Each structure stands twice: as structure tokens, then as C-alpha cells.
């Protein structure tokens, strides 16, 4: 809080380690089959919400800093929605298992992919200064990599996990998936797609395994949430400098984050057949940002694009959206 902590090799390595585990856990919760029924509608709304959120965040960044890279960083951080906060909102509204609720879940799964792809583009842009005209090629390569891992890789990984089960050792069924996550993180990092992409894909590729729920998820959660994740967030806390808070920036980011999803996912859901109540529920449910955005923000900080002062202000804006969204549910959503 006093600004005494400097990101050195050890802290940077530890934060990267935490990023891999967090994104691996997020991927384990996403099943590719869950989005097939709503693929086109969910993809449209996820892309629209992500694009408008990026645009609003970008405009805020340009207004406050007049710096293209910082503006792109803020826009990238604002793209994805927090799954945990979203699921909680759906449960509180009693819509988790409804048709609209399932549609929202499909949107947030597609939203995860949009967020990770955007982070990959930004990572490649920072390191290689890719021209805008090359982004379409990068997009196709990224989509191809996703399809390959999720369609081909998931089947092979599932069969591989079945074979190693002959050892009847749960520790092996825990260590092998972790090794695969780190391997894919290493591969995607060297491809310029960031370690987060590989870890997330590794989790998605294993989401359908018969060992995911009883063994992999439970053991990874014990290790990650019982040790690594608390320390990860503690290390993030050491970087917060409360004396450097930019209140106008925080307020602007909060407004941009809320409006981006409400317009992009909520209002535009009218085009895919949503009624007024569904539009409001979709828009508000997609508003909160959280763990995923903090992870992306952490990667942006490690890239050296933003200062710790900007980082701290963005953290406060992200946390604020998770507080504001449940309140807005009571005002804009009338239970059907």
C-alpha cells in the first residue's frame, strides 16, 4: 500500500504461476458442448459486448492518458465478464436453470474466449507491434488453435487420462493435468498468445474427462485456492498504492464497464429474440468484472504497459462492478 514493493524476477514468476492456475481452473469449468446449442446467438452477443466494452474502455484511456497502448490495455481488461459473479447473480434472481439463464451462461463461456483472444492479440501487439491489417490473420490462427485443442486435443487428452488411470493413483491424475497446463502455457507463450491462453485451453480440453470433477478439479482447487490463489492475491495487494487513486478514472471505468455490457449484451439481445425482461437480465448479469479481469490486468502490468497507480485504480473499478451489479438487479429486473 505504501509503494515499497517492486516487481522483481521472483514476484513476477510467482504472479505468472498464479495466473496459470487461475486460468486452468476457469477452463475446467467450461465445457465446449454447453455452448453448441446457443453458439451463434451467444457468440454474437459476447463479441458485441466485448467490442463495445473495449471501445468504451479505450475511449476512457485515450481521454485520461492520450496513449494508444494504455488505452488498448484498459479496453482489453474491460472485455470479459466475471463468471463467478455472474453465476451468483443468476442464482439470486432464480434464473440459473431457466432458458434465459442458460443463454447467459453460453454468452459468458463465449465471452471467456473473446477475452482470452483479445488478451492474445494485445500481447502479440505489445511484443511484435502487429499492424491492424494483420489482426485478421492472427484471429484466424488463434481460432484454429482453439478448435484444434478443443476438438482434437480434448479427445486425445481424455484417452490419455483414461490410460494413466491404470496406475490407480490420484496423485498421477493430478500431476499430469497440471503438467499439460504448464506445457500448453509454455507453447502459447512462445507463440505470442500469452500463458493465460494455454492454461485456459488446457482446462477446457479436460473439462469433459470422467476424472475432472472427482479428482482434477477437487485437487487443483485444494492446492490453488488453499495456497497459491490467496498468496497470489496477497502479492497483488502489495502492489496497491491507495494514495495514488485516480477517482475520476475509477468512476469513468465503472460507467464504461457497466454500459458496455448492458448495451452490447443486453440491448442487442433484442436482435436474437429476447424480450424486455430478458434484455435487462442479460445486460445486468454480464456487467460484473472480477477474477478473470484481475488476472488479465496482472498480465498487462507485467508487460510494463501501465503503472502501479493506473493498476490500482483499475482494481478498484473492477471490484466496484461486482458490488454495483447485484444492486442494479433489484432495480432493473422484475422477476417473471
Cα separation, 44 vs 271, whole angstroms: 10
Q: How confident is the model at residue 129 (pLDDT cuts 50, 70, 90)?
A: low
Summary mean pLDDT of the chain: 77
Residue 191 DSSP symbol: T
Q: How confident is the model at residue 333 (pLDDT cuts 50, 70, 90)?
A: low
What's the rounded mean pLDDT across residues 94-111? 75
Place of cell 495466473: 19
Answer whether 107's CB lies under 8 Å from 98's CB: no
CATH-assigned architecture of domain 9-332: Up-down Bundle (1.20)
Specify the higher pLDDT residue, 325 or 7: 325
Q: How confident is the model at residue 193 (pLDDT cuts 50, 70, 90)?
A: low
- pLDDT at position 205 is 81
Quick one: cell of 174?
493430478
- pLDDT at position 321 is 86
Residue 34 sits at φ, ψ, to 5 deg, of: -65, -20
Percent over 90 (pLDDT), the chain: 17
Specify the higher pLDDT residue, 213 or 47: 47
Cα separation, 55 vs 113, whole angstroms: 18
Specify the higher pLDDT residue, 237 or 105: 105
Measure the CA angle with vertex 62, ends 251 and 136; round to 5°: 115
* Orientation of helix 247-261 relative to helix 308-332, angle to 10°: 50
What are the pLDDT digits (tens) for 281-301? Answer: 889 888 888 767 887 888 888
Q: How confident is the model at residue 105 (pLDDT cuts 50, 70, 90)?
A: confident
- pLDDT at position 210 is 72
Answer whether 320's CB lies under 8 Å from 296's CB: no
What's the rounded mean pLDDT across residues 158-166? 71
Answer whether 93's CB lies under 8 Å from 36's CB: no
Q: How many other β-carbons are positioned within 10 Å of the β-carbon of residue 190?
A: 10
- The domain limits of the chain are 9-332
Residue 237 sits at φ, ψ, to 5 deg, of: -60, -30
What's the rounded mean pLDDT across residues 50-70? 94
- pLDDT at position 136 is 63
**Entry pTM:** 0.68
Amino acid at each position: 500500500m505504501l509503494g515499497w514493493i517492486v516487481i522483481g524476477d521472483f514476484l513476477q514468476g510467482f504472479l505468472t504461476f498464479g495466473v496459470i492456475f487461475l486460468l486452468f481452473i476457469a477452463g475446467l469449468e467450461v465445457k465446449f458442448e454447453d455452448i453448441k446449442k446457443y453458439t451463434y446467438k451467444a457468440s454474437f452477443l459476447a463479441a458485441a459486448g466485448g467490442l463495445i466494452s473495449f471501445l468504451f474502455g479505450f475511449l476512457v484511456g485515450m481521454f485520461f492518458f492520450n496513449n494508444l497502448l494504455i488505452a488498448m490495455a484498459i479496453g482489453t481488461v474491460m472485455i470479459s465478464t466475471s463468471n463467478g459473479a455472474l453465476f451468483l447473480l443468476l442464482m439470486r434472481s432464480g434464473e440459473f436453470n431457466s432458458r434465459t439463464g442458460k443463454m447467459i451462461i453460453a454468452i459468458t463461456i463465449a465471452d471467456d474466449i473473446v477475452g482470452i483472444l483479445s488478451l492474445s492479440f494485445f500481447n502479440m501487439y505489445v511484443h511484435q507491434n502487429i499492424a491492424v491489417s494483420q489482426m485478421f490473420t492472427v484471429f484466424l490462427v488463434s481460432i484454429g488453435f482453439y478448435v484444434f485443442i478443443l476438438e482434437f486435443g480434448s479427445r486425445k487428452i481424455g484417452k490419455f487420462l483414461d490410460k494413466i488411470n491404470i496406475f490407480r493413483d490420484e496423485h498421477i491424475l493430478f500431476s499430469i493435468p497440471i503438467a499439460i497446463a504448464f506445457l500448453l502455457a509454455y507453447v502459447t507463450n512462445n507463440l505470442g498468445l500469452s500463458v493465460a491462453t494455454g492454461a485456459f485451453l488446457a482446462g477446457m480440453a479436460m473439462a469433459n474427462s470422467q476424472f475432472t470433477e472427482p479428482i482434477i478439479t477437487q485437487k487443483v482447487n485444494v492446492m490453488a485456492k488453499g495456497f497459491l490463489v490467496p498468496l497470489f492475491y496477497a502479492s497483488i495487494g502489495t502492489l496497491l498504492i491507495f494514495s495514488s487513486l485516480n477517482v475520476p478514472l475509477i468512476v469513468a471505468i465503472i460507467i464504461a464497464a457497466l454500459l458496455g455490457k448492458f448495451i452490447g449484451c443486453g440491448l442487442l439481445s433484442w436482435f436474437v429474440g429476447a424480450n424486455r425482461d430478458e434484455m435487462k437480465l442479460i445486460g445486468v448479469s454480464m456487467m460484473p468484472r472480477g477474477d478473470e479481469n484481475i488476472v488479465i490486468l496482472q498480465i498487462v502490468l507485467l508487460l510494463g504497459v501501465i503503472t502501479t497507480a493506473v493498476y490500482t485504480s483499475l482494481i478498484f473499478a473492477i471490484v466496484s462492478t461486482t458490488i454495483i451489479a447485484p444492486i442494479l438487479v433489484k432495480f432493473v429486473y422484475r422477476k417473471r
